[in-house]
Amino acid sequence: MDWLLTAPRHLFFTGKGGVGKTSLACASALKLADAGRRVLLVSTDPASNLDEMLGVALGRQARAVPGASGLWALNINPEAAAEQYRLRVLDQVQDPAQQAQVREQLSGACTTEIAAFDEFVDLLTGGARDFDHVVFDTAPTGHTLRLLSLPQAWAGFLAQHADGASCLGPHSGLKMQEARFRAALAALSDAGLTTLVLVTRADPAALREAERSHHELRALGLLQQRLVVNGLFQAQDRQDAVACAWQSAGEAALASLPPGLASLPCDTVPLRALDLVGLPALRALLAEAAPTSAPTPEALAPVRTEDWPPLSHLVEQLAQQSHGLILVMGKGGVGKTTLAAALALGLVERGHAVHLSTTDPAAHLSDTLAGAQPQGLRVDRIDPKAETEAYIQKVLASKGRGRSPAELALMEEDLRSPCTEEVAVFHSFSRAVAEARQAFVVLDTAPTGHTLLLMDATGAYHRQMAAELGDSRFVTPLMRLQDPAHTQVILVSLAETTPVSEAAALQQDLRRAGIEPWAWVLNRTLLGSGTQDPLLRQRQQQETRQLARVADGLATRRALVPWQAQAPVGLEGLRRVLGA
């Protein structure tokens, strides 16, 4: 990746969850800093793990990274940004009665998202003047596409709607920021200022998502793109069946590179044996790789089946109920969609009717099922655009009754603001939560940060209902999520340091909301595969440490899903994921 040394000011690393965006963003920022540049590394992911990777506690203010002269880093904190945003808007409102109304307007989850976006805009439009480069480590694709589309969406919305109010407060206050939104859009669209790095793996699902992102970014006018294929594996032992299968799968995926990606400049980064935490490992990521030596056999502790049963063991326990909500959660790229589909199939094959859906903006359920849909399984997705349109029409029909055409037109204009989507998705999610009172509903959730925003909306709605109804009896979606007889949360991780740390942090966030996770699943483990390839054996050694970490205090109910030589798609592939 020598092009980094002639890179423009802004670098965005984006892609499907789990492809290594954060690792490559950190390694690239380090390479630029080591070359004498002043670099600011920024995470726009609500579930950022920059702190752990760089070994330094980060906040909203840029902090120098010890051991990396010239490198500073920060996390955009959505909650803190939201409060600062509220204060700025309220400063523009003089009437105390109107202030209370505006604060109520600014209490939703969409305000949290737009406030984080506001800090992002500041970094693009002059808030990082002291730096030669700003490197953005973004959230997984669906969330990032929304973030990058917001400058265009808000600039257009404000140009068309000069009066009234939105869920972000009075338009008069927002109009003051219109110039900043337009400047952000100009910076993103300027090939001399910004390059978008699409990070992928040599994996069909990751490549399909990168191809979709490529076209959606082009539609936004963001044309300066590069492709980086991360984690490319080369077998050292040509007699090792697992290693050869891994290499062959990667070669086959790259041989059928989608046409949009084939047109982009491309770099490859080899798979590393190192767990990419800490500056030495991050520097090594973009350096020449040295041959890997295998660990001694005694370094790999055996995995006891009774401690780590197959996924089918969890299905057997779930199937003892007649209904329930199963939420599959975790960091992007850990295999949530595959495991959600496998759990749904397991329940269907035990005689239950199941509704399988997803809250992920980059949904892949249809790809995972490969078109198959056994009797008893209903599959769909929470489509943000369709949900938004349905929500707008419902509000117009209910709250618009009896209003004049002019009043209806103004109401619809307000509902067309970009953040209405968050409210609409929450309402759809709430319907799925309620449906689980009569049947099984398996929800494949968006990557951690986006899911936490949805949980935040659920909590905000609960607080609103409690304030309005007082001692009256009511049941909110949050109360159903907190009920272990109604909801089982399954946390999915890889047996690697960062995904386990993020799942542990998510577990703590859920517990603070009164939601107790039901089980953990460690997915795609090499342990027990029989491989003798030195690099894969090194990775197995790291996996044993993470299994011990999860078993020692993080999860009492758990399952293990081994790495599959064949892609786990279609009914047979999903049955292999379930195990014996």
- Residues involved in catalysis: 18, 20-23, 45, 498
> Chain centroid to CA 410: how far?
34
| Identity at 106, one-letter amino acid code | L
* Separation between Cα atoms, residue 386 and residue 179, nearest integer Å: 30
| Identity at 258, one-letter amino acid code | P
Q: Hey, is 216 helix, strand or coil?
A: helix
Element (H, E) at 175: helix 171-175
Q: Is 327 exposed, middle or buried (0-12, 13-18, 19+ CB in 10 A)?
A: buried
Instruction: Name the CA dihedral angle for 331, 333, 337, 339, rounded to a multiple of 10 degrees.
Output: -80
What are the Cα distances from residue 197, in Å, to 100, 224, 229, 553? 43, 9, 10, 38
Tokens representing 202 are 């040599």
What are the Cα distances from residue 514, in Å, to 301, 455, 485, 511? 36, 11, 14, 5
Q: What is the DSSP string of 68-88?
A: -TTEEEEE--HHHHHHHHHHH
Tokens representing 466 are 């409690």
Tokens representing 139 are 């959230």
Phi, psi of 237 (to 5 degrees): -110, 105
